[in-house]
Structure 1
């Protein structure tokens, strides 16, 4: 008896799989390699000019923008906490 491997397509909600590959690469660059937000943004700009697959570029850029928003939100929250009068919270 022989078996045949059947692969199931990823659930991509109608978007090209290259979009998710771009997101994954940006995530890996961010978390695994520890690349800064500015470098990620520069890479996204470079990819926009030179990468042949626009879906990959859109996915990469989407993750970079999410990272940038997360970073700014965390910084704003920390700044707010740092300047909060501690007497109010006792």
Structure 2
């Protein structure tokens, strides 16, 4: 006889709408929307979406995308700087 283990479908204690917002921001970015476009969409969500948790999840993912891009840019600049310094 086996015993079924109940595992929560949601981690972190957030509302499912929070994860739906994160997923939508991820999907839109993957489809080609840049951070500026996502930020404009976020401002519309903040003003008019009936579910605050959805907007919070969308915002969290947009901010993560922005940080990821800034970190990538900083890393690439550092590598380029080091390559230029080594070439001297």
The whole-number CA distance in structure 1 between the counterparts of 2:9 and 2:24 is 17
Which has the larger share of helix? 2
Question: What's the TM-score once normalised by structure 2's chain length?
Answer: 0.83
Q: Is the 8 A contact 2:10 2:16 kept in 1?
A: no
| Stretches of structure 2 lacking an aligned partner (at least 5 in a row) | 1-6
- Structure 1 outlier segments of 4+, above 2 Å: none
Question: What's the TM-score once normalised by structure 1's chain length?
Answer: 0.81
- Select the residue among 50, 59, 63 that pairs with 2:61: 63
Summarize the alignment of residues 1-90 of structure 1 with structure 2, pairs less than 5 Å apart: 10-31=9-30, 33-84=31-82, 85-86=85-86
1:46 CA drift (Å): 1.1
| Stretches of structure 1 lacking an aligned partner (at least 5 in a row) | 1-7
1:45 CA drift (Å): 1.1
